[in-house]
Amino acid sequence: MKIVSLFYVGLGLLTCLSSGTIYATAPTSTTAGGTTTIDINNTRFMFDYPPRMTEVLAPVALQQNWYWPASKLYRLNSSELSSSQLNSTKPEQQRALVLQQLAQLQQSAEPALQTELATLQLQVKNWRLAERIVIPIDYDLARAQVPFNRRFEPGLYKLQLVARPEQVHFWGAVTKNIAMPHSGATAVADYMSAIERSDVADSTIVYIMQPDGRIIKAGVAAWNQLHIEAMPGAQIFIPFASGWFGAELEKLNQNLLALALHRVVE
């Protein structure tokens, strides 16, 4: 854990403990309702009151030029923040459902689809998951507009802050997952010529999972494409063509998207 010196933030006092944990005492006017622990890029901050977004971000906001749209907040279950303790109940239930769907579809699939599903099944098993809370995380926005300066409920959280990503990532019904350099003012359809989609892929649409958690369906065929851009750090999901199993594969596509939202990538 990174050790940070003693300093004030907002109305509370932050104290650096010997463990490298930063502890914030409550202002006298704030009603304490349990401890809020937030791991921010492997530095742990503890508040004995429900802190607001500005108070959480203040110690780190000016450390570098963060790309706020790519910030991710997760709620954890465990009292530990180690990598083996990230999993939360909700995404684990979703994972179990997706793995069950993948196993069932493989039983009656053609060889090409069966191979694709087996590969994806292995990937999903190895994902690190935690319950993502999709809210705007932006220090300047939180300071300027009260609705974006919400309080954190008592509990355990993981907050990832990153500099501006340089790539967009493609996964799903592809021969292999691939990361490509982000290109500004470029429609997602313009990336597709470099992507090796599998024989079971839907060639007409993709789903853009923007780093801020928004999911956008985008046409990429000549007849349905629009100028929709992927933000730096976006995850582009290539869905399976629903014609293979109709509603079953469409349901799998949607469940994969819902699960991927909770994926933790360091």
CA nearest to 208, candidates 198, 199, 219: 219
Residue 101: predicted pLDDT: 97
Residue 18: predicted pLDDT: 44
pTM of the model: 0.87
Residue 27: predicted pLDDT: 52
pLDDT class for 246, splitting at 50, 70, 90? confident
Report yes or no on 62 lying in a domain: yes
Task: Please state whether beta strands 235-238 and 167-172 pair in parallel, antiparallel, or not at all (unpaired).
Answer: parallel
Report yes or no on 77 lying in a domain: yes
pLDDT digits (tens, 9 = 90+) for 212-229: 999 999 999 999 999 999
Report yes or no on 248 lying in a domain: no
Mean pLDDT value of segment 133-142:
97
Report yes or no on 57 lying in a domain: yes
User: Tokens representing 16?
Assistant: 């650096």
Report yes or no on 182 lying in a domain: no
Report yes or no on 173 lying in a domain: no
Domain with 64, as residue range(s), is: 7-85+131-160
Query: Which residues lie closer than 8 Å to 21 by C-beta, 6 or more apart?
Result: 1, 44, 45, 46
Report yes or no on 35 lying in a domain: yes
- The larger pLDDT score, comparing residue 110 to residue 51, is at 51
Number of domains in the chain: 1
Residue 77: predicted pLDDT: 77
- Phi and psi at residue 255, in whole multiples of 5°? -70, -35
Query: Which residues lie closer than 8 Å to 131 by C-beta, 6 or more apart?
Result: 74, 75, 76, 88, 89, 90, 91, 262
Report yes or no on 24 lying in a domain: yes
